[in-house]
Structure 1
Amino acid sequence: MIHYRIEPHDLQAHLYRVVLRVVRPQADTLVSLPVWIPGSYLVREFARHLQGLVARQGSRTVPLEQLDKCTWRARCSGASALEIEYRVYAFDTSVRAAYLDADRGFFNGTSVFLRVHGREDEPHRVELRGLPPRWQVATALPAVRTDARGQGVYQAADYDELVDHPVELGGFWRGRFKAQGVEHEFVVSGAAPSFDGQRLLRDAQRICETAIAFWHGRRKPPFDRYVFMLNVVDDGYGGLEHRASTALICSRRDLPRLGEEGLSEGYVTLLGLISHEYFHAWNVKRLRPAEFARYDYGRENYTQLLWLFEGFTSYYDDLLLCRAGLIDEARYLKLLARTITNTLALPGRRVQSVAQASFDAWVKYYRPDENTVNSTISYYTKGALVALALDLRLRQEGRGTLDEVMAWLWRHTGGGPMDEALFAQALEAVGGRSYRRELQAWVHGTQDLPLEELLRAHAVRWQRDPPTWAQRLGVRVADNGGLTVKAVLRGSAAERAGLAAGDELLAVDDWRLRKLDDLSIYLGPAAEPRRARLLVSRDQRLKTLTVEIPAGLGSVVLVPADPASDGELQRRRAWLKAR
């Protein structure tokens, strides 16, 4: 068994103290810290936060030789237990790493627990101690012996399980509910006094019950308990899935408030995030790419299937809100239209397939720059639209649904690794024909999906709003006290005029610009083609550019079709299951 002790060592310095104990070590024991965390596909070099590593066997100091950026060799002698002690600097407020201050602690195992090479499959035990007064512990890691606050000993079956259970520490709010008879816990850190915790519990319960029913009907999910850990900040958003828990971040203004019954845009976004990460407990944590059957924590783990595991989860997150009755049909179609608009606005969709985007996640998705919009596509949004297209095509043909495809995959893998060939087999088993042509075109090709036609067959009408000036110009602009161009879209009017990322927009036709909406004041409605002069600042030099602005297309709007045939209406109701 591998043992760890971890404690908050210095709150003001943001340091955890960790002691690793290895019984019966090898003569040359190798230890390393992961360079990435599953679910976030970027090498993050967590070992840069380790410091002060020392090793000993009893009273004897053991030499530690660093072999690379994250690996050490301990020159052990004899059978005495090896202890390696070190500090971890923890000041990352994201869901991916570790954090510690006087108010709150949080850590993922990939940031704090050295892996003992060759011993990964043994049980791993963690002793958590030294918590400040009134601090509590929240984690899905199985407890062996703990006190009322959660301080004590926990155990995992192996290293993979150990690092798949984040830990939240502090004086957080805590609530519980049951879904399909399974205990669920919600902890919230940093909420304002106006936070309506009971409403969040009720809505999360409906999401969980809907997701469990999606995968299992009336049967129980593949975990005995589940923990949501929500860190509330002034401005933030994100989540990371784990096998029986999730770490979430949201803005304080997005929480439900006491006395308010409406659904703000921010709260809907939070509910979608909860739905997304919970769905991942099945889709990517258990049903997962064959390449992820066993993680390699020391390097990138490549797969072309993130469009299925991240993209399909993005399709179902908002759809399950609709099926749970938390949002209505119109709200769902608005969210779907936004995803379509954002995808169609990217010239990169013509350059990179969603399968290639999955493979390139390690070097592109998490490292965006001014050319990202022109060279890449998101496996989240395009993957969600592939799921939509397949679901609607299956429903249109009347032989099955994507829901049934996902259930088929779960049954035939036992909730385990899979590849694209098995997904194609599942589509054929449910749909009664081969869908390889659609997969080749929609997943491995770069043409647009036939969404307008498919939505029409489900009594949903596709419309376009009038274009904004930003859409007509083809620019992404940051308002940071001035108007700075973040990106220029390929083939756009802005590119043809010579506008570049980093330019500051100062004036149009001799009128001062303070925000992009001012263009509608000085140029009129964004409807007809127009020529204009732009005054820009580039590297502190003024330049005048002449731009020919075309009419352009606005955002997609989806509305229920009226009139529609009975068959189309029935398909829409079956798809959305709106209450």
Structure 2
Amino acid sequence: MLMPRYRLITLAVATALSMSASFIASAADLPAPVDQPYAGTLTVAVDLTDAPKKIFRVNETIPVTPGPLTLYYPKWIPGEHAPSGPIQNVAGVVIKANGKQLAWRRDLREMYALNVQVPDGVSQIELSFQFLSPGDGGEFGASASSTPNLVDIEFNQTAFYPAGHFTRQINIQPSVTLPAGWKFGTAMEIASQSGNTTQFKPLHFNNLVDSPLIAGKYFNRVDLDPGAKVPVHLNVVGDEADDVKISDKQLAGQRAVVQQTARLFGAHHYDHYDFLLTLSDHTGHFGLEHHQSSDDRLPANFFTDDTMHMLAASLMPHEYVHSWNGKYRRPADLWTPTFMEPMQDDLLWVYEGLTDYWCGVLTARSGLWTPAQYRDSMASIAAQMSYRTGRSWRSLQDTADAAPLTYFGGGGWGNWRRGTDFYPEGQLLWLDVDTQIRELSGGKRSLDDFARAFYGIENGSYVTKTYTFDDIVGTLNQVQKYDWAKFLRDRLDYTGDTLPEHGIENGGWQLVYTDKPNDTDKAADKIRHGANLAYSLGMSVSAKGEVRDVQWGGPAFNAGLVPDLTIVAVNGKDFSPDGLKDAVTAAKTGNASIELLVKNVDVYSTVKLDYHGGLKYPHLVRAKGKDVIGEITTARK
């Protein structure tokens, strides 16, 4: 019996929808990963010849079997502490099998998953797309990563992987094609080269994501540990030839970082290590750790301006320490079998806070900072954290727990919101631990002993070893018996109006405020082109009078100032940072208020600040007892 034509059309549409739906799994149905090898080796070819146009062209081959297939784009990137995989910059996705284009559909509840039906007789699919690099600043995946003369590539940006397997069980062979004449640096090992294309040796997908590459027209590579069996190199790209040159003094400082770090931990956990340093004013500025390398991005004048070099000197030591703390030893809640499972950040006060503590110490021990510059840094951190009014409602622990919310959160009200305070207050926390160990042991032991006991094991091992809070406490007790669980929890869970850490005082120093900025803060204001008056007026402003932040409950707040207003005039004269500071100084000896003309969008108003305390800037001065901080920052032999 023949069906009416409309029934045939309806049936055809229904059948097509049914077939389509058959490979559209819900997020709850996505394959669970198993710890078994994936059959075959993936390949990914990244063509960067259009990198100056901010276009990365990707061609990937994936061995498959017929049936439903889910492809993942990496979502949770180690070190970024948030679901930050930049899938929004992926475009032009085409999947083919035996030359025919296949339909695919994004999972409706997991935006990082693409579902496709692999036809019978197909053993491999070809996936092509473009990664459109962002065009401005930012950090991590939201950061500009190419200019006409250089490119930075994190391979999580340029590869999908099949669901259902631990990513350490998926092998992939990458290759990169660069603009003519460009040189590159990476921790990956070269298999072959032909023209402008380099093919690298196969590696696990985990290691691909963990192995960024920098390349550029202007490139410099120096050996940071000459003669060592386990080599360490510094690779530099920049927008100008002069930017990538390193002086003998600067090179000596970077080499000392490697030497002092080795003496701190007593072991290494890499086959070789490559610092990948990008110097440009047209990319984002940040660092991202990897096991055998680090992606470090700084302003173009890092090597050519002494002030910038001093201010940014601790970035590379920070990322280098992460090879031990974060890569080799990693919080158990931050280890996941693939890049899709949520990472839990409750131990970031160890992962980042302890790393930040040691990076400052190593920057001083290596001579990149003087002891006075280290103390200036700690004075600024202690003042900033002492004025954290948000501590009244939010603990240090919560800043770690909520890191996925705050890493990419909005600006303004920083002291009331609290952001990634596990970095700066983490330094104070671990200085507190270090000085406590030294006091309890009569100077016989220190946090250096913890470093060797916790990280200096299994020399040469590249296998991640996870840890918990109890492991931290247990190792501290091996170094020095004490109720470390209570010590840490009292500080991590504290809410109130005082700073709970006392390492500066225990280290023989005291935080004070004077009307003159310390040298480090003075340099920072010069670079940032503004004025930080957080400890006097309770606000910071840009050179153009834009209010960057306001201290909750401070004089500026009480007068009605909020972030994003613009100060147009001070006491009837055009705004300037120096003019504002002069007004604060003058008000100290008089009764008149400081009068500001401010602009809120297009509305002008006059604000009066009844403040007479003068300028206040943080410093450390010697107090009673031994100079323990001096001992901590002394180079190890």
* TM-score strictly above 0.5: yes
Indicate the residue corresponding to 1:519 in structure 2: 580
- How far off is 1:345 after superposition? 2.9
Letter in 1 for 2:303: L
Q: Does 1:431 align with 2:480?
A: yes
- Map of 1:107-506 to 2, 5 A cutoff? 107-119=153-165, 120-146=167-193, 151-156=198-203, 158-179=204-225, 180-190=228-238, 191-193=240-242, 196-199=245-248, 200-216=250-266, 219=267, 221-234=268-281, 237-256=285-304, 264-294=306-336, 296-298=338-340, 300-377=342-419, 378-398=421-441, 400-410=445-455, 416-447=465-496, 448-449=498-499, 454-466=503-515, 471-480=535-544, 483-506=545-568
- How far off is 1:137 after superposition? 2.8
| Contact 2:150–2:216 (CA under 8 A) maintained in structure 1 | yes
TM-score, length-scaled by structure 2: 0.81
Tell me, what secondary structure is at the counterpart of 1:471? Answer: coil
String of CA shifts for 1:235-283, please: whole Å, max 9, x gaps: 76311111111111112222147xxxxxx33212332111111111111
- How far off is 1:45 after superposition? 4.8
| Contact 1:465–1:556 (CA under 8 A) maintained in structure 2 | yes
Letter in 1 for 2:140: R
Tell me, what secondary structure is at the counterpart of 1:121? Answer: helix
The verdict on how the C-alpha distance between 1:373 and 1:143 changes in structure 2, with shifts beyond 3 A counting, is: same
1:145 & 1:13 partners in 2: Cα distance?
27
Letter in 2 for 1:244: Q
The verdict on how the C-alpha distance between 1:469 and 1:173 changes in structure 2, with shifts beyond 3 A counting, is: closer
| Contact 1:2–1:122 (CA under 8 A) maintained in structure 2 | no
1:538 & 1:66 partners in 2: Cα distance?
43
Q: How many residues align?
A: 560
Identity in percent:
20
- How far off is 1:553 after superposition? 8.0
Letter in 1 for 2:105: E
Indicate the residue corresponding to 2:36 in structure 1: none
String of CA shifts for 1:386-434, please: whole Å, max 9, x gaps: 0111111111222632222232223679861111121122222212121
Q: Does 1:35 align with 2:75?
A: yes
The verdict on how the C-alpha distance between 1:367 and 1:296 changes in structure 2, with shifts beyond 3 A counting, is: farther
| Contact 1:529–1:551 (CA under 8 A) maintained in structure 2 | no
Indicate the residue corresponding to 2:93 in structure 1: 53
Q: Does 1:574 align with 2:631?
A: yes
The verdict on how the C-alpha distance between 1:531 and 1:222 changes in structure 2, with shifts beyond 3 A counting, is: same
Higher mean displacement: 277-286 or 442-451: 442-451
- How far off is 1:25 after superposition? 3.0
1:319 & 1:211 partners in 2: Cα distance?
10
1:370 & 1:274 partners in 2: Cα distance?
28
The verdict on how the C-alpha distance between 1:195 and 1:48 changes in structure 2, with shifts beyond 3 A counting, is: closer
Tell me, what secondary structure is at the counterpart of 1:271? Answer: coil
**Which structure 1 residue ranges, 5 or more long, are not aligned?**
258-263
String of CA shifts for 1:482-505, please: whole Å, max 9, x gaps: x22233211112222222333322
| Contact 2:230–2:272 (CA under 8 A) maintained in structure 1 | yes
The verdict on how the C-alpha distance between 1:314 and 1:90 changes in structure 2, with shifts beyond 3 A counting, is: same
Higher mean displacement: 331-340 or 297-306: 297-306
| Contact 1:241–1:278 (CA under 8 A) maintained in structure 2 | yes
1:205 & 1:278 partners in 2: Cα distance?
12
Higher mean displacement: 28-37 or 380-389: 28-37
Indicate the residue corresponding to 2:19 in structure 1: none
The verdict on how the C-alpha distance between 1:284 and 1:28 changes in structure 2, with shifts beyond 3 A counting, is: same
1:280 & 1:20 partners in 2: Cα distance?
31
1:81 & 1:184 partners in 2: Cα distance?
38
2:205 & 2:276 partners in 1: Cα distance?
21
Indicate the residue corresponding to 1:261 in structure 2: none
1:203 & 1:422 partners in 2: Cα distance?
34
